[in-house]
Structures are given as structure tokens and as C-alpha cells.
Amino acid sequence: MPYDQLGAGGPLGGVPAPSRNDGRALRRLLDELGRLPGIGPKSAQRIAYHILGADAEEARRLAQAILDVKQQVHFCPVCFSYATRERCDVCEDPSRDQTSICVVSEPRDVTAIERTGAFHGLYHVLGGVISPMDKIGPEQLHVRELLSRLADGTVTEVILATNPDVEGETTATYLSRTIKPLGVHVTRLASGLPVGGDLEYADEVTLGRAIEARREL
């Protein structure tokens, strides 16, 4: 996914006019719901029947919320997390620790770490991880932008919070070797997260302890 915008085109306006009744409206809804991650056929049916049982205003609010998020949410030009204003809430917050940057692979990882309340610095979202099998190298990630943020010497610590799997460890090792010559202290999330796990699904206690007990690489 390109990280300069979430969707193509301009403002979407209101809910589009309904298409001609071809007798397949329910089938199309089930098909679209089934494309969502973690939604199987039975879950798609439950959601579809809930929508059918809701009043028209509730269905309209749901449709409008989906359109609004595609229209209004974009990537922060500083850290590449999600933002609804010019910059994200973290980058706009002057009370955040400007000397520490936590590097994650995806915007959803920012939300997971924020839930712990254990980190009060800034973030940098890479937009993925190094994966030779998928032909993703450092050039396809926001590594250059990270190095630019370190150039003025304000940041004294970079916490590498990529997932503890093969790609995440490869990415962390590359970043450590790249950042250390700049004189910046580099740390890695400590054990407590399962190998092969995903930050998005870690509970707050485990993830909070991992942040507090991070180790130097």
C-alpha cells in the first residue's frame, strides 16, 4: 500500500445512490464482508443479518463512517502513522518525549503500544519489514525518513519494536547497524513477546513489560 495516501480520488461526498435492483444485494454484501480479515462465511452472515435487522439510520451511519474514514484519514507526513489532521496526534503533542523514537512496522502497532501507557516518546512507522521473499528491501520502507529525523541530534534513543519474527528481526538488525554509527542509542523490545508473534494481538501487560525491559543491540 502506498504511504502517501489511503485512497485515490477526491472527496467522496455522501452515500452513493443505490444500484439497480438485480436481486443480488444480499449476496454482494456477504461477498464484501467475507473479504475483510478475520471474517469467515458465518461471521459475514451474522453481520449481514444484523445490518438487515437495523433501521435505515443505523445502516446509513455505518456506511457514512466507512466513507468518512477513507476521505479524512491519511498518513502523517512525519511518522507515517494514521492522521486525521495535518499531522498525527502524537506528533502534534508537545508533551511527548522528543528524544525517543519507537520504530514499528505498521500503524496498528502504534495503537498497540499506546494502549500500554508505558511509552511517551514519538513513533516512526516503516510501512512494512524487510522481506527478500517479497522483494521488499530498505528502499521500499521509510528508512530514509527515519535517518532524516535523527540528523539534528535531538533523538538520543531509537527503540526497535518490529515483530519478533524472522522479517522483524532482520529489519531490526539492519536498522541497528545503520543507526548506531550516528551515535544514537539503539534498543530492542525485550523478551515477553512470543517468537513469531504479532504486536497487534499482544496483551497490554506483556507488551508494557517488553517496552520497560527493552535491551540494547
The CATH number given to 1-72 is: 1.10.8.420
Q: What is the pLDDT of residue 5?
A: 43
Q: Helix, strand, coil shares of the chain as percentages rounded to 5?
A: 45, 10, 45
Residues 74-99: tens digit of each pLDDT: 999 999 999 999 999 999 999 999 99
| DSSP secondary structure of 71-122 | HH-EE-TTT-SEESSSS-HHHH-TTS-TTEEEEESSHHHHHHHHHHT---SE
Whole-number percent of the chain with pLDDT over 70: 90
Fold of the 82-216 domain? Dna Topoisomerase Vi A Subunit; Chain: A, domain 2 (3.40.1360)
β-strand pairing of 74-75 with 82-83: antiparallel
Residues of the chain with CATH 3.40.1360.10: 82-216
Tell me where in the chain the CATH 1.10.8.420 domain(s) lie: 1-72
164-217 pLDDT, tens digit per residue, is 889 999 999 999 999 999 999 999 988 677 777 788 888 887 788 788 777 787
